[in-house]
Amino acid sequence: MKFFVDTADIDAIAELNALGMVDGVTTNPSLILKSGRDILEVTKEICDMVSGPVSAEVIALDADDMIAEGRKLAEIAENIAVKVPLTWDGLKACKVLSSEGRMVNVTLCFSANQALLAAKAGATFISPFIGRLDDLNVDGMELIADIRQIYDNYGFETQILAASIRTANHMSEAAKIGADVATAPPAVIKAMASHVLTDKGLDQFVKDAAQAGIKIV
Ligand code: E4P
């Protein structure tokens, strides 16, 4: 499973990128707001740092304007994936932009039917939002499993990009189901390294090493 980082925070991306953990980046208007940066400027900086797909989201609501915005975003760099919402207009924009050879990430997906439509419209990525479904007491992982089954049934090449990931557990669950990609905030990716038994075991090893007077370098 590929790891995308769900942030527009340059320093956080750089830290994970240095560890080889970044296969791509996703942003959205809320993350751009949080960064306090200009969308074109910060997205260019991310694209210069990361070789994988970098999702940049349109803000228009009608298809023609989304297409114009998508073309402008795609000019930033070759690795831009234009992010469009899963609306009827978004699907129209997806069809046009993907036919022009651009990567398209269809976002705000909350049902298997929406994912089926996105695949038919030529989406490169479909982004089902796990956490926001969980917030409503709906199992977001079931949606990932349903989409996996549907795409496999018919050989759709659209990649399932598990989004709205809130916990480290979400990452392993998405990987078990077979999501192609998961996008998560930097803190969630870092949390994947944590285990209480690792901390406990290390604490004991440190104490024993001191008692034994172990010195290596
Ligand atoms: C993905 O592309 C979205 O930007 C993101 O995962 C949304 O996550 P949230 O529901 O935590 O805002």
Q: Tell me, using a 6 A CB cutoff, whether residue 7 lines ligand 1.
A: no
- CA–centroid distance, residue 163 to ligand 1 (Å): 6
Q: Has 92 been annotated as catalytic?
A: no
Number of domain units in the chain? 1
Domain annotation covers residue 132: yes
The closest alpha carbon to 115, from 137, 101, 94, belongs to 94
Closest residue by Cα to atom 10, ligand 1, is: 164
pLDDT 10s digits, 175-186: 999 999 999 999
pLDDT 10s digits, 175-214: 999 999 999 999 999 999 999 999 999 999 999 999 999 9
pLDDT 10s digits, 22-62: 999 999 999 999 999 999 999 999 999 999 999 999 999 99
User: Domain of 142: which CATH number?
Assistant: 3.20.20.70
Determine the length of the chain: 217
Residue ranges making up the domain that contains 122? 2-212
Domain annotation covers residue 217: no
Domain annotation covers residue 97: yes
* pLDDT > 70 in the chain, percent: 100
Ligand 1, from 183, 188, 189: best to mutate by most atoms within 8 Å of Cβ?
A: 183
If pLDDT is split at 50, 70 and 90, which confidence band does 108 have?
A: very high
Domain annotation covers residue 139: yes
Domain annotation covers residue 13: yes
Which atom of ligand 1 lies closest to the CA of 55? 2
State the complex-level ipTM: 0.97
Domain annotation covers residue 71: yes
Q: Name residue, tokens 């490169």.
A: 124
Domain annotation covers residue 41: yes
Domain annotation covers residue 50: yes
CB 125 within 8 A of CB 105: yes
